[in-house]
Structure 1
Amino acid sequence: MTGSPPTALVLGGTGRTGSLVARQLPERGLSARTAARHGADVRFDWDDPTTHPAALAGVDRLYLVTPVLRISYADQVVAFLDLAVAAGVRHVTYLSTYGGQLAPPEVDIRAVEDDLAARDTLTHAILRPAWVMQNFSDAHLPVVDGVITVPTGGGTEAFVDAADIAAVAVETLLAPEAHAGAEYAPTGPRALTVAEVADTIAAVSGRPVAHQDIDPEAWIGGAVAAGVVPADYAVMLRWLTGAIVSGDGSTPNGDIEKVTGRPATTFDEFARRNAGAWAAPVPAVK
Structure 2
Amino acid sequence: MANDLPTLAVTGATGALGGAVARQLAEAGIPHRLLARHAAKVPAPPETPVFALSYADRDHAVRALEGVQTLFMVSAAENPYRAQDQRTFVDAAVDAGVQHIVYTSFMGAGPDDVFTLGRDHWDTEQHIRSRGLEHTFLRDCFYQDILPSFVGRDGVIRGPAADGRFAPVARSDVADSAFRILRDPQPHAGATYTLTGPQSLSMRDVADTLTRVTGQQVTYHAESLDEAVESRRAAGASEWQAVAWATSYAAIATGELARVSDDVAALTGTPPLSFEDHLRTRR
TM-score by length of 1: 0.83
1:136 aligns with 2:144: no
Counterpart check, 1:96 vs 2:108: no
Rounded to whole Å, the distance in 2 between the matches of 1:101 and 1:29 is: 37
2:250 is matched with which residue?
Answer: 242
CA distance in 2, matches of 1:9, 1:195: 40
Matched, 1:23 2:23: yes
Matched, 1:259 2:267: yes
- CA deviations 1:160-201 (Å, max 9, x no partner) are 101111111112222121100100010000001121112211
Q: Which residue of 2 aligns with 1:127?
A: 138
Corresponding residue to 2:87 among 78, 102, 111: 78
The 1:149/1:117 distance shift into structure 2, 3 A limit, reads: same
**Is contact 1:7-1:60 (8 Å) kept?**
yes
Which residue number in structure 2 is paired with residue 184 of structure 1? 193
User: Do the aligned residues in 2 keep the contact of 1:104 with 1:239 (CA within 8 Å)?
Assistant: no
Which structure carries more helix by proportion? 2
Greater shift in the superposed pair: 83-92 or 103-112: 103-112
Aligned partner of 2:230: which letter? G
User: Residues 206 and 235 (structure 1 numbering): CA distance in 2 closer, same or farther, change over 3 Å?
Assistant: closer
RMSD: 2.6
* Structure 1 unaligned regions, length at least 5: 276-286
Alignment partners' CA distance in 2, 1:198 and 1:34: 37
- In structure 1, C-alpha distance between the alignment counterparts of 2:2 and 2:282, rounded to whole Å: 44
Match runs of 1:201-216 below 5 Å:
201-216=210-225
Structure 2 alignment gaps of length 5 or more: 43-49
* Distance in 2 separating the partners of 1:239 and 1:212: 16
Candidates 154, 159, 169, aligned match of 2:163: 154
Amino acid at match of 2:278: F
Post-superposition shift, 1:234? Answer: 4.4
How far 1:69 sits from its partner (Å)? 2.2
Partner Cα separation in structure 1 for residue 191 and residue 51 of structure 2 = 29
**Alignment-mate amino acid for residue 241 of structure 1:** Y
User: Secondary structure at 1:125's aligned position in 2?
Assistant: strand
Aligned residue type for 1:136:
L
The alpha-carbon deviation at position 259 of structure 1 amounts to 1.1
Q: Distance in 2 between matches of 1:128 and 1:51?
A: 28
CA contact (8 A) 2:203 2:220 kept: yes
Paired with 1:217 and 1:195, the residues of 2 have a C-alpha distance of: 20
1:185 alignment partner, SS class? strand
- Tell me if the contact between 1:103 and 1:110 (Cα under 8 Å) persists in the aligned partners: no
Q: Does 1:271 align with 2:250?
A: no
Work out whether 1:114 is the aligned partner of 2:126.
Answer: yes
> Once the 2 structures are TM-superposed, how far is the Cα of residue 7 of structure 1 from its aligned partner?
3.8
Cross-structure match for 2:8: 8
**Structure-2 separation of matches of 1:13 and 1:199:** 34
Deviation of residue 2 (structure 1)?
A: 8.8
SS at match of 1:83: helix
Cα deviation digits, residues 75-110 of structure 1 (max 9, x gap) = 433332232233232211111111113544973322
Q: How many residues align?
A: 271
Counterpart among 228, 231, 234 of residue 222 in structure 1: 231
Is contact 1:158-1:192 (8 Å) kept?
yes
Distance 1:170 1:102 in 2: 28
Counterpart AA for 1:244: I
Structure 2 letter corresponding to 1:243: A
- Report the Cα distance in structure 2 between the residues aligned to 1:123 and 1:27, rounded to whole angstroms: 26
